[in-house]
Structure 1
Amino acid sequence: MKVLKKTLLLAAIGGSLFATTASAEQINLTWQMWTGSDADTKGWQHLADMVTAKYPDIKVTLTTTGWVDYWTRLPVLAASGQLADIVSMQSLRMPNFYSLLEPLNDRIAADKFDVGAFTPSIIGGMSVDKQLYGLPYDVGPWVIYYNQDALEGAGIPLPKPGWTLTEFTDAAKKLTKDGKYGFGITPQNYSVLASAWGDKYLNDSGELDLTNPSAMSAADRVIGFAAKDKVAPLVPSSADAGTVIQGRFYSGNVAMYVDGPWSIIGMKDKVKFKVGSATLPRADGELTAVTAGSGFGIATTSKNKDAAWKAIQVLTSPEALQYLAEQGRALPARTASQSSWYKVAAKDITNGGEAIDYSLAHSIPYVITNNWAAVENLFNQYFPPAFAGSTDAKQTMETIQSLAQQ
């Protein structure tokens, strides 16, 4: 009888014990992300921990690599079936990699998830054929970061939003002396600057068209910074050019370079001078700045898609984006959270808020082709010889156009 009572007692409480155990069964998610510094990595780990704080049964294991290695490894991981559950994706790479990600439209509709809380341009950037493949965490235009100490030392007035290409070039020339350069240019800056100047490198059908007069003119200007004006250092023929130029800016060997608000977190601990920000220089007309951003998607190969959907909602929540904004890591993709970035991150950058505001007010979509990653690789390969004066803009653009169409 005692045994029977004990059995009944265990049965009575067993249901609740079993339910608790079942609900607490650990779900392990993997998340792959790029990083540019230790502070950057700590920030992403903080977000991973936020997921577990909200959902104790979900643990997110973060794996990071450098920016260049991330995009090199991504197709390799996909081919070998080793993609993480949560895949980080830049809007400019989405046309190349969206097939690796789960469409989110049905989940959004089922949960009545509010995509209207995000800046429309980045929702568009994370979509392909009206299907959203990732929730965005940041958005921002490219701007010019400058070494304020160097400009003031050279007697150059701090640039105002909407400054001209002539003003920019004059400043770069004055800053180029004593083995230091006024401007750091990279091959991938071509399309960003061409867009800012109103030059078209795609035709009306959205196809690559690097040999039209407008595209050629922009290439001649970009190449001329190094080959003609000698205000920019030479860069390697590789995808590392951006990292090289960024490092030279941090060390004080380059006074100005092109980057976005996502890089502010890396500057804080690496520079020993006051940093300022300006809009990209405009040509004869109004500035037409392009924007981009990044977010998180669910791998089609994930075995825990429901949990991954919960996780990426946390990673892009107002609380998460508030944290990233306060760290200076990201201008939030959620419009209501952007004021936090201005108050915290932009205050460390002279004219930072003004440059971002003006650029966003004069922004256009960043138009790219479906094979843009391959096009950028060709830029990285063929622009550096032109910077060195070995080839001119015409030869460079004709070569890239030809190879991109093969």
Structure 2
Amino acid sequence: MRKLLLVCGLVLTLLSSLLFAENVVIKYAHWNALPSDSYNYVKAFEEKYPNVKIEFMQIPEAEYSQKLRTMAMTGTAPDIFCLWESDLADFVKAGWIVSLDNYVQQSKELDLDDFIPAVKQLMQLQGHLYGLPWCFATEIMYYNKTLFDKAGVPYPNANWTWKDFENAARKLTITNNGRVTQWGCDAISFQGLWYSIIGTFGDKIVDEKGRFALGDGAKEFLTWWLGLTKDGVVAAPQISTSGVVSADLFMAGKAGMSGKDVDFVAREVVQKSKYSEFCFRYGLGHGIGLEVHEEPRFSPKATDPLPENAVVTIEPGIYIPGEFGIRIENDVIVKSSSFETITTLSEDLTVL
């Protein structure tokens, strides 16, 4: 799971002075699109405080940090924004965000003891608090029990080391005629996961002054991971994300371990792009048989595993209201240790 350890800056500063003013407009920035109505916190906030209007600004994740810096330097930064913890020191030193100490002390509802100490600490610099935790998530490794059983590999346990991981991944890897048909592990596509794993090899990622710093731990991990990739044990990124969405490597039985189910990862791919707010809102795909639409189905609520030899279609897309919509459809035969793509049409698109 992707690590979302973030800082939500300036919230208390604004709320304490503006909530009860008339016709207040607050500019708020994030890289994610706003959730659906039932989880739309901006809508809920405006309903609770009808005198406050939130102008939401979505900035693509790849451009987020740099664009915020540019806006801050030109005096056009949003009033409230979520900030990567790695950017906190720079924003504080530049004077772009203010300490929340006094506002927290005045609050009758906020208790900092409610937060996990390690998470709260990341929002502090030189004894001052500059933000509040928005979200903290733990990365999770999923494994395919069917493939483990077929390879005779014991399931992971709490005592697993990276050496145990490597041994299992190598046993799960299948090669036919010099070509890898089943990787032992999917590729790592999220940079936050790199930081987490590097940390397990002994690096702290940043030094005592908050500066980015990598050492021998990073070198050891990257050398090891590169070796696994060259050996075909770990899928290379361009293999893992081409053709059918990378989630298929796990769910269709091609990879022994991965981090997301099919529908979730497909949406994440779109949501990380500049079209995140236009991500498809239907179920990702379904089975094909006597009926055009039948079981199994791919959706946020689908829990049934993919049966061997099932024919399914995977259909991620984007839909921009009033302009156009486009999606890619791949028909796939699920195999016991791989998958076969039936679709032969090119997926090459011109990005405008």
- Smaller-chain TM-score bracket: 0.5 to 0.7
Q: How does 1:266-305 map to 2 (within 5 A)?
A: 267=264
The 2-side partners of 1:44 and 1:95 are apart by 35
Q: Does 1:171 align with 2:168?
A: yes
Report how far residue 267 of structure 1 moved: 2.2
Query: Contact 1:250/1:270 (CA < 8 Å) preserved in 2?
Result: no
**Distance of aligned partners of 1:63 and 1:203 in 2 relative to their CA distance in 1, 3 Å threshold:** closer
Q: 1:249: which partner in 2?
A: 247
Query: Contact 1:91/1:122 (CA < 8 Å) preserved in 2?
Result: no
Q: Given the alignment, which residue of 82, 105, 119 partners 2:101?
A: 105
**Distance of aligned partners of 1:103 and 1:269 in 2 relative to their CA distance in 1, 3 Å threshold:** same
The 2-side partners of 1:85 and 1:215 are apart by 36
Q: Secondary structure at the match of 1:166?
A: helix
Report how far residue 175 of structure 1 moved: 3.5
The 1-side partners of 2:255 and 2:25 are apart by 44
Q: Given the alignment, which residue of 223, 228, 245 partners 1:220?
A: 223
Q: 1:62: which partner in 2?
A: 56
Q: 1:231: which partner in 2?
A: 233
Query: Contact 2:123/2:130 (CA < 8 Å) preserved in 1?
Result: yes
Q: Secondary structure at the match of 1:70?
A: helix
Report how far residue 104 of structure 1 moved: 0.7
Report how far residue 47 of structure 1 moved: 0.8
Q: Secondary structure at the match of 2:235?
A: coil
Instruction: Give the percent of matched residue pairs that are identical in Structure 1 and Structure 2.
Output: 22
The 1-side partners of 2:64 and 2:98 are apart by 19
Q: 2:334: which partner in 1?
A: none
Q: 1:133: which partner in 2?
A: 130
Report how far residue 54 of structure 1 moved: 2.2
Q: How does 1:133-172 map to 2 (within 5 A)?
A: 133-148=130-145, 150-152=147-149, 154-172=151-169
**Distance of aligned partners of 1:200 and 1:128 in 2 relative to their CA distance in 1, 3 Å threshold:** closer
Q: Secondary structure at the match of 2:246?
A: helix
User: Stretches of 4+ moved more than 6 A in 1?
Assistant: 200-209, 241-244, 263-266
Report how far residue 201 of structure 1 moved: 6.4
Q: Given the alignment, which residue of 22, 41, 45 partners 1:47?
A: 41
Q: Does 1:27 align with 2:24?
A: yes
Q: How does 1:311-326 map to 2 (within 5 A)?
A: none
User: Residues 175-203 of structure 1, C-alpha deviation per residue, up to 9 Å, x if partnerless?
Assistant: 43454432313594444223223356677
Q: Secondary structure at the match of 1:78?
A: helix
Letter in 2 for 1:256: M
Q: 2:119: which partner in 1?
A: 122
The 2-side partners of 1:143 and 1:93 are apart by 25
TM-score, length-normalised on structure 2? Answer: 0.54
Q: 1:197: which partner in 2?
A: 201
Report how far residue 208 of structure 1 moved: 6.4
Q: Does 1:84 align with 2:78?
A: yes
Q: 1:185: which partner in 2?
A: 188
Letter in 2 for 1:233: A
Letter in 1 for 2:224: R
Report how far residue 46 of structure 1 moved: 0.9
The 2-side partners of 1:47 and 1:250 are apart by 32
**Distance of aligned partners of 1:169 and 1:94 in 2 relative to their CA distance in 1, 3 Å threshold:** same
Report how far residue 119 of structure 1 moved: 1.1
Report how far residue 134 of structure 1 moved: 1.3
User: Residues 3-31 of structure 1, C-alpha deviation per residue, up to 9 Å, x if partnerless?
Assistant: xxxxxxxxxxxxxxxxxxx9673212121
Letter in 1 for 2:97: L
**Distance of aligned partners of 1:157 and 1:140 in 2 relative to their CA distance in 1, 3 Å threshold:** same
User: Residues 68-125 of structure 1, C-alpha deviation per residue, up to 9 Å, x if partnerless?
Assistant: 2323422233233332111112323322334432221111122253111111111111
**Distance of aligned partners of 1:92 and 1:42 in 2 relative to their CA distance in 1, 3 Å threshold:** farther
Query: Contact 2:247/2:266 (CA < 8 Å) preserved in 1?
Result: no
Query: Contact 1:202/1:210 (CA < 8 Å) preserved in 2?
Result: yes
User: Residues 127-180 of structure 1, C-alpha deviation per residue, up to 9 Å, x if partnerless?
Assistant: 221221111122233332344555455554432223121221122223434544
TM-align CA RMSD:
4.3
Structure 2 gaps, min length 5: 1-18, 175-179, 269-299, 304-352
**Distance of aligned partners of 1:43 and 1:115 in 2 relative to their CA distance in 1, 3 Å threshold:** farther
Q: Secondary structure at the match of 1:88?
A: strand
The 2-side partners of 1:265 and 1:46 are apart by 24
Letter in 2 for 1:183: D
User: Residues 277-327 of structure 1, C-alpha deviation per residue, up to 9 Å, x if partnerless?
Assistant: xxxxxxxxxxxxxxxxxxxxxxxxxxxxxxxxxxxxxxxxxxxxxxxxxxx
Q: If each structure's strand is expressed as a fraction of its own residues, which one has the higher value?
A: 2
Q: Larger relative CO (CA 8 A, sep 6+): 1 or 2?
A: 1
User: Residues 194-225 of structure 1, C-alpha deviation per residue, up to 9 Å, x if partnerless?
Assistant: 3223356677888766554x554333223322
**Distance of aligned partners of 1:242 and 1:32 in 2 relative to their CA distance in 1, 3 Å threshold:** farther
The 1-side partners of 2:28 and 2:262 are apart by 21
The 2-side partners of 1:242 and 1:43 are apart by 33
Structure 1 gaps, min length 5: 1-21, 272-344, 349-406
Query: Contact 1:249/1:255 (CA < 8 Å) preserved in 2?
Result: no
The 1-side partners of 2:241 and 2:124 are apart by 28
